[in-house]
Structure 1
Amino acid sequence: MRKLNHVGLHRRACLRAAAALAASCTPLAWGADKAAKRRIVSIGGALTEIAYALGAGSELAGVDSTSLYPAAATRLPGVGYARALSSEGILALAPTLVVATEEAGPPSVIRQIQAAGVPIEVLAAHHRFEGMLSRVTRMGELLGRRLDAQQLTQRLQADWQAARQPVLARKEEGPQVLFVLSHSPNQVMVGGKGTAAEAMLVQAGARNAVQAFSGFKPLTPEAVVAVQPDAVLFTQQGLEAIGGIEGALKLPGLLQTPAGQKRRIVAHEALFLLGFGPRMPQALAALDASLQQVMRTKA
């Protein structure tokens, strides 16, 4: 018992010390003293992209492991995976602000950061273009870059309309696409309703093949054969994890579907495809183009 108490006291002491360090670097009035350099920790790849798009990349003090774009973000100190954060790791960077999506956690870490007196802003993790624009606006407010946010929003709206135009111009029904999430050949899931992948597929004029459930469930050959997908969508990382296209074609049941028989496999980098950040218009255009290309495959 004495040892446990000592560990608990040591942990609290570390948190207090980190909080004191953070407080010593925090401007007296957030955003009022322009001479004081902001130190922002961004938890969420899309938020990090927005910060850079607003010209605030130099103000980032640390990022989570999903912040892979732009390349400069990968050279910043890391604070771990967004869903498994450590308050000590974040507070050690002496942040003046933490921005995170609502997927960040665990909740106890969020509370510890708040208790340390560090401002933390939690933004909704929308799977919609309008939601992404809302995050741009809010980030502009937090970073004192409202005009930059307005200009970025205008560019994004124009890019989005251009990306959606060919989708809206088509009259025929879009392909039925199965989204497969894989970390290894033994860890393969399929995406149902309400997923980020479904949101992107719908915007690209396609249909999510799985409508029997929400979220993700393990892939079964019976389920794959039952939905008869026209094409299969992976993240690039996921496709590589199972051995590329040849590995994908070995998934149970896939060769009994049009997608498998005609080798209609599509893959895009995970953050690009599903991040819902400022590259969302480009991601939509790329997804649409790749689906249209594989659907021209006859055999």
Structure 2
Amino acid sequence: MVTAGCGSQDDAATSGQTGRSTATLASLDPQPIADNPAATLPVTVTGADGVAVTITDTSRIVTADQYGTLTETVYALGLGKNLVGRDTASGFPAVASVPDITPGGHSLSAEAILNLRPTVFLTDTTIGPRAVQEQLRAAGVPVVFFDPTRTLAGVPGQIQAVADTLGVPAAGAELSRRTADQIAAATAMAPTDGAKPKIAFLYMRGTAITMMAGPGSGADSLIEALGGVDAGTEAGLTQKFQPITSEAMVASAPDVFLMMSNGLDSIGGLDGLAKIPGVAQTPAGRNQRVVDMQDSVLLSFGPRTGDVLAALATALYTPSAQ
């Protein structure tokens, strides 16, 4: 589904589109693959930090990572009723009543987590401080670290790793297959003829934080799957996210900006975006061409990834009704 705006130019690189197109999902909640599958426990797994952890109880699960991936995966496995704590990035309606353990953004509080009496804590290195995660371990909570890398290729494996940790490998295999099939179908939506659109992912939180994504950000993986070229990488950026400069923006010369909806709104929408250094001198800036999507789903790289890609492809390539 897509809602689109109209700009003033008619030379955009993607289907003649201009203005803002908001990609939306039919449902913001992941679709569980099962209804509270029975766990086979105990399970011993080796986390991404190399530490072997034994899980004997999954009745009280707490999840925390920068993108909300782990919460989404637990819910899609059918274990949403077992979630007793989650991160701020996990913004879908079904977990709105689950306590947010990172209300300040990305900082963990050992006391807040321990008060939830977790039987297992799923996390990665995108969130911290690490001392809190180690403090939880010292208190006897099984803490499992997962791979923090976010790529399309890694989605099925990440799902299976979470499922194996929680003692539901069969549900994990089924969810991995469904997700991989959805990703393949969405990827096939990208046109194979004509020039590939150059797309720049911009991360913004007001005018104080304005970043462009580069290699390894996760956005580059989405852009490639959408049949585009990552403008930040093409322009020579070397970091996952770098502060926007006029020179870098002009050099990247994107046809389309990809953004989180709240980020775009935080700078005043299209009018505010035009004031960011270098934006007005790019094809995307001249056409006010932006594709945006809800913050909590755009870079989650979880079981809804195929749906995310399909919605983005529709927003990117389908001409808006005039």
Structure 1 residues 283, 236: CA separation in 2 closer, same or farther (over 3 Å shift)? same
2:137 maps to 114
Q: What fraction of aligned residue pairs are identical, expressed as a percent?
A: 33
Q: Which amino acid aligns with 1:77?
A: P
1:252 maps to 277
CA drift of 1:37 comes to: 6.7
Superimposed CA distance per residue, residues 189-225 of structure 1 (whole angstroms, 9 cap, x where no aligned partner): 1112221211211111111112322222221222222
2:305 maps to 280
2:195 corresponds to 1:173? yes
2:62 maps to 41
1:232 maps to 257
Aligned residues: 264
Q: Which amino acid aligns with 2:204?
A: S
Whole-Å Cα distance in 2 between the matches of residues 40 and 82 of structure 1?
20
CA drift of 1:233 comes to: 1.3
Whole-Å Cα distance in 2 between the matches of residues 82 and 119 of structure 1?
23
Show structure 1 runs of 5+ residues with no match: 1-28
1:204 maps to 226
2:95 corresponds to 1:73? yes
Q: TM-score normalized by structure 2?
A: 0.76
Structure 1 residues 36, 256: CA separation in 2 closer, same or farther (over 3 Å shift)? closer
Show structure 2 runs of 5+ residues with no match: 1-40, 44-55
* SS of equivalent residue, structure 1 residue 57: helix
Q: Which has the larger radius of gyration?
A: 1
2:138 corresponds to 1:105? no
Q: Which amino acid aligns with 1:174?
A: K
* SS of equivalent residue, structure 1 residue 210: helix
Superimposed CA distance per residue, residues 59-112 of structure 1 (whole angstroms, 9 cap, x where no aligned partner): 11111111112x121211121157411111111111110011231211111111
More RCO (CA 8 Å, sep 6+): 2
The correspondence for 2:210, drawn from 184, 188, 195, is 188
2:114 maps to 91
Q: C-alpha root-mean-square deviation of aligned residues, in Å?
A: 2.3
1:223 maps to 248
Structure 1 residues 151, 186: CA separation in 2 closer, same or farther (over 3 Å shift)? same
Structure 1 residues 221, 82: CA separation in 2 closer, same or farther (over 3 Å shift)? closer
* SS of equivalent residue, structure 2 residue 145: strand
Whole-Å Cα distance in 1 between the matches of residues 161 and 175 of structure 2?
12
Structure 1 residues 37, 152: CA separation in 2 closer, same or farther (over 3 Å shift)? closer
Q: Which amino acid aligns with 1:42?
A: T
CA drift of 1:157 comes to: 1.9
1:159 maps to 182
* SS of equivalent residue, structure 2 residue 153: helix
Q: Which amino acid aligns with 2:198?
A: Q
CA drift of 1:30 comes to: 4.5
2:163 maps to 140
Q: Which amino acid aligns with 1:198?
A: D
* SS of equivalent residue, structure 2 residue 154: helix
Q: TM-score normalized by structure 1?
A: 0.82
